[in-house]
Chains A and B, each alone.
Chain A
Amino acid sequence: ELKVEQNPLFLSMQEGKNYTIYCNYSTTSDRLYWYRQDPGKSLESLFVLLSNGAVKQEGRLMASLDTKARLSTLHITAAVHDLSATYFCAVITEQGGSQGNLIFGKGTKLSVKP
Chain B
Amino acid sequence: KAGVTQTPRYLIKTRGQQVTLSCSPISGHRSVSWYQQTPGQGLQFLFEYFSETQRNKGNFPGRFSGRQFSNSRSEMNVSTLELGDSALYLCASTWTGGYGYTFGSGTRLTVV
Contact = CB atoms under 8 A, between A and B. Distances in A.
The interface size bin for chain A is 20 to 34
B45 A88 contact: no
A103 B56 CA distance: 13
Interface string B100-112: 1111111010000
A25 to B, nearest CB: 14
Contact of A48 (B35, B99, B106): B99
Interface in A63-114: 88, 90, 95, 98-107
A55 B95 CA distance: 24
A101 B90 contact: no
Contacts of B103: 35, 42-45
Contacts, number: 49
A99 B102 CA distance: 15
Contacts of A50: 99
25 contacts: A31-B99, A33-B101, A35-B103, A40-B108, A41-B105, A42-B104, A43-B103, A44-B103, A45-B102, A45-B103, A48-B100, A50-B99, A90-B43, A98-B55, A99-B31, A100-B56, A101-B45, A101-B48, A102-B35, A102-B43, A102-B45, A102-B101, A104-B35, A104-B43, A104-B44
